[in-house]
A and B are shown apart, each in its own frame.
Chain A
Amino acid sequence: MTVLQNLPRKKTEPVQSSMVIAGARPHDDQTEALAASIFRDFKSDFRYKEYVLGCINCGECTTGCPAARFYNFSPREMLQIAYQDDPLVLLDAMQEKIWACCQCYTCNMRCRFGNDIAGIISVMRELAVKNGLESAKEVLKPYSRILLVVMTKGTQVSPDMIQPDFFADWGPFAVARQTDIKTLRKAIPVDVLQVTDSSWEVSMQTSLELFQIYKEAGVVDMLKSIDPDLVEMIEDIVDEWREEFEEMKEKYGIGV
């Protein structure tokens, strides 16, 4: 019966077969429920129809993909997974593979079918964060300080915050550049205030409004599943500011 080995597996076999192919850990009912819920959210995302059109498997996306050269990652595979209807395979891809993408959008430039592959990968990433997947936690760990500043002050990351310790994959050039960042920053033609410890001052009111937007838009909830401590920290800071802000309003008789 060796001849039949290459035929597709029978439907009666557990879904695990596809998971084994995709290299996943064995799953339980909970995993299956999570996969089903992510799958539902994914397929009903308003961007899905716009980004995933179809695929003629030409492989041009993978040919041009820088990540595919170094990792076990293929944009064509991601699109195929996005296009097909296997929740467990989708979940499995979201554990690790989607984080290999460097969002350079070369696949979009190449795709002769007009798919937005990098775009659909970012939708998968969003869902990974929203559902608090372990992989997402792992990937976002180095960014907690950045998130803290962005969410409290609304500003970009200040250059001093990006330290080589957090980025194991930084090459020697990136590390070398980091050492003299004050001088390098002076060469930037636009006005960056020539500082490296902060970007620009955002008023307290703006910060509070921004946080409100994050909250309403679901960003805070999304982060909670990834890093509850960070969210707690941010909320403490914002609460403190809010009190301070109310006191200021009272003191100057604004908006009473």
Chain B
Amino acid sequence: MTNPKFLVIGGGPSGLSAAQDIAEAGGDAILVEKETFLGGTPKKLHYSLLAPDMKPVEEVLDPLISSVENSSVRRLLGASVKSVEKKGGRFNVTIESNGTSVSESVDAVIVATGFSHWDPHKKYEYAYGVYPDVIDFKDFEKMLSDEKIVRPSNGQQPKRIAWLLCVGSRDKQVGKFYCCRLGCAVSIKQAMEVRRIHPEIDTYVYYMDIRTYGFWEDKLYWKSMEEYGVKYIRGRIGSINKGEDGRLIAMAEDTILQRPSEVPFDMVILATGMEASEGTLEASKLLGLEIEEHGFIKPLESDSMPVSTAVPGVYVCGTATGPKAIPDSITEGSAAAMKALNYVRRRTIKVPAGA
């Protein structure tokens, strides 16, 4: 009997975790990654520290990456799946890697194709792309990891920074009805990081709800006030204008004081939401997976079978099924690996029904 073969699409936290667990269980895993490196979006966009333990992203992901690199996992970088054909319970896939085409026959597929950050250009009133000092929080994450906090307009250190939560989330106007789950935590973490390096910079977070669920409440939300002096304004910035001195003017309603507020800022950081990545949509088309109402891949049962799909032998994990934090994605990767391994085991060994 040949060793069961698994295809893992996507080399981010969940894909790495799935591939690692399959290899550890003795399966043959092929890991296909579009980029030329492993680690997914956190690595690609140079995330800085991870909430809530303030650990550098390398410290969290590098052990996972090296464990995959030192295992039997066959890694195809700069590669993408071009076609999938289901035949006799197996999947015949064509993978294009660095210009060459590879054909493989696998027993099960794990989709770990992830998310992308929402493009804030579509929210025109925030003037993203018009004023250089209005930036996306993924761009600011890169600034933090480079330890260079400067205003893009003049290269000087900002005196006052604002974060605006829920840009491209919880918004019917742009068709994104859901919460991105991480915007609050990441923004607060960024503000704490700023205050840690530069206590002289004033940091303000504009929010309508702070959703630092679970342990993030005290580790981020409370701590940011108690220890870092991050300030919170309850109300959303409705538009961003430019003042005479070149600073940004954030127009908002302070909904607690119930009056309009106009505050000058040197930088405004937009906490953009999450949406399904292009790779996720491609994978759903290739494998015939259903897309749910928010645009992500629909799991078979979102409550009891979150990593299974309607297609037998195809499993899904990480942010391909919706917004998720890195630890959750890693957990789901393992869960998908387990489900896939069991699927193959059931097919090769006759197991009584119900087992």
B171 within 8 A of A: yes
Q: Which residues, 54 to 91 on A, are CB-close (under 8 Å) to B? A: 56-64, 68-69, 74, 76-77
Which of B166, B170, B238 is in CB contact (< 8 Å) with A63?
B238
Instruction: Decide: A69 and B260 in contact? CB cutoff 8 A.
Output: yes
Known: A68-B260, A76-B255. A58 touches B172 (CB 8 A): no
| Interface residue? B253 (CB, 8 A) | yes
Interface residue tally on A, bucketed by range: 20 to 34
List 12 interface pairs A-B (beta carbons < 8 Å), by A numbering: A56-B209, A57-B208, A58-B236, A59-B253, A59-B255, A60-B238, A62-B260, A63-B235, A68-B253, A74-B253, A112-B171, A114-B172
Given A112-B173, A113-B172; A57-B255 close (CB under 8 Å): yes
With A56-B209, A60-B236, A64-B238 as known contacts, state yes or no: A111 contacts B252, CB within 8 Å.
no
Q: Are A62 and B253 in contact (CB under 8 A)?
A: yes
**Which residues of A lie under 8 Å from residue B237 when comparing CB positions?**
63
B228-257 interface bits toward A, Cβ cutoff 8 Å, 1 = contact, 0 = none: 000000011111000000000001111100
Chain A residues near B172: list those with CB within 8 A: 111-114
- A-B interface contact total, Cβ < 8 Å: 59
A224 within 8 Å of B (CB atoms): no
B208 to A110, Cβ gap below 8 A? no
* Total number of B residues with any Cβ neighbor in A under 8 Å: 20
How far is it, in angstroms, between the C-alpha of A69 and the C-alpha of B253 when the chains are bound? 11
Interface residues of B in 165-197 (CB under 8 A from A): 166, 170-173
Known: A64-B238, A111-B172. 4 other contacts (CB 8 A): A58-B236, A58-B255, A59-B236, A110-B173
A249 → B minimal CB distance (Å): 56
- List chain B residues, Cβ under 8 A from A111: 172-173
Closest 4 pairs between A and B when the two form their complex, measured CB to CB: A63-B238, A59-B253, A62-B253, A59-B235
Residue of B nearest to A56 (CB): B208
**How near does chain B come to A212, taking the closest CB pair, in angstroms?**
41
Contacts of B258 in A (CB 8 A): 74, 77
Q: Is the CB of A63 within 8 A of B255?
A: no
Residues of B within 8 A of A57 (CB): 208, 255
* B169: nearest chain-A partner, CB-CB: A112
Contact digits for A37-68, partner B, Cβ 8 Å, 1 yes 0 no: 00000000000000000001111111110001
B125 on the A face (CB < 8 A): yes
* CA gap between A60 and B237 in the complex, in Å: 7
Complex Cα spacing A57 to B172, Å: 14
Residues of chain B with a CB closer than 8 A to A62's CB = 238, 253, 260
A60, B167: Cα distance in complex, Å: 12
Q: A69-B260, A112-B170 are in contact. Are A59 and B209 (CB under 8 A)?
A: no
- B238 and A59 contact, CB distance less than 8 A: yes
> Which chain B residues lie closer than 8 Å to A113 at the CB level?
172
Known: A56-B209, A76-B253, A110-B125. A63 touches B173 (CB 8 A): no
Chain A residues positioned under 8 Å from B171 (CB to CB):
112
Q: Find out whether the CB atom of B254 lies under 8 angstroms from the CB atom of A59.
A: yes
- Cα distance A74–B237 in the bound complex, in angstroms: 15
On chain B, the residues within 8 Å of A74 by CB distance are 253, 258
